[in-house]
Chains A and B, each alone.
Chain A
Amino acid sequence: MASIFKTIDHIRYFDDLARQDSFIHRLHPLTKLLSTTVYALVLVSHDKYATLALLPFLFFPVLVAAAGRVPLSAILKRLLYLEPMIICLGLLNPLFDRETTVIMGHTVSSGWLIFASIVIKGSLAVSSALLLMATTGMEGIALSLRMLRVPRIMVLQLLLTYRYLSTLLEEGARIMQAYSFRSLSTVGVAAKAWGSLLGQVLLRTIDRAQRIYDAMCLRGFNGEYVPGKGRRAGIADPIYLLAWGAFFVLSRVFNLPLYLGCLLTGGVR
């Protein structure tokens, strides 16, 4: 039961983080959406064997988290939940790709190399997406999607899904609470009760979603989400975007860790 309340808090926690005030929060939502998208694209476009060369890409999430006052632990914890999915995606490679490559004098299976590369890329991309949520909030993201001419209906879907997800979790938590107060059993839900409990959660959620929708209609909502103006873009926005853009492209074109390593050891191969 406690875990459901925690899940609600997880969702809401991101809303809370997004309400903070920091350099990152003050940027225009569109700036953040664009920088994160460019980041993810450049990252994914990287060579499929790239592992160490990806190191510079760690800067983006770490710096944004630090400047945006987002605890790294908050991001890492949620990343852990998604990690199995990323690993499954990557795991096919070692199975099918049985060739080998040589790096730094060691022979490694190229399949595993690709696997490592995918896991690193996936984790970095997911972290940056989580950070976008934590520093911009769903409404900010919706606003910038609309500015990019993403169809209304899709933006609305996104917002409502997000909103109803918390509604669903709340109803679930309430019912579990009511159940555990009266069932007297100490742990879990009796097998017999699962069906009716789940049915209850579903019905109640539909009811509540309907009432929320009613409330929206009564306040003039007619299928179109009208976002506010949001923050005005300032001089910091283009600079932020250009600086990160330049950094991403540099890290993509040059293998920065390799250069740095050569520089430090003074050797040129």
Chain B
Amino acid sequence: MNPPPDNAPSVEATGLTKVYGSGDTEVVAMKDVSLRVERGEVVALLGPSGAGKSTLLTALGLVNPPTSGRITIGGVPVMDGERALVNLAAFRRQHLGFVFQKANLIPFLNAVQNVQVALEINDVLPRAARKRALELLEYFEVADRAHHLPDALSGGQQQRVAVARALANHPSLILADEPTAALDSARGRQVMELFRKVAHERGAGVIVVTHDQRALDVFDRVVEMEDGKVRAGHKPG
């Protein structure tokens, strides 16, 4: 796969539509959605339940192909409608990072192994993977819990490990679905600021689906969705 051009946007989606079912049972979950996120930009995706936020996020995450529309990530065209233009698993491995409401850490791996596994999946040798995983945990200030299983970590610690895992392979796009929903406001804000720091320092685009209005000032831009469409995009505040 060719390396993406440096000046390309982190992600560019054009005319995305997602239709579930057909005939009487047809549901349009997302209709003609276009979105562009630059490198280093942190975007909040707001909207009520059923607005199509998660559908958009999973389409951009290459796990739920749109019915129509195009997706380009880091300058590389990856989806044209339902047709994949690249090996999706390989592309996810190299260019995407995911964070969810639940940390979704693998329960039988300790904190450092949860980060290490993302690197080893991307063909980093075990020794180098472990070193980098420890560096990331250090960066996110959870290195002292590196050898604890997820069960032994607090919610905030788990979420920081999940963020470290999402960033392990230097993704050009990070997708987060309600990453602070399970955290108190202080911890939630801490995680949001973490995204901002990472986006600015590492040049990754970040899209965060959130209902949390308290930390919107952390974002560069807020995009609102309703009834499967982008209603408005504006600067926070």
Q: Are these two chains actual partners, yes or no?
A: no
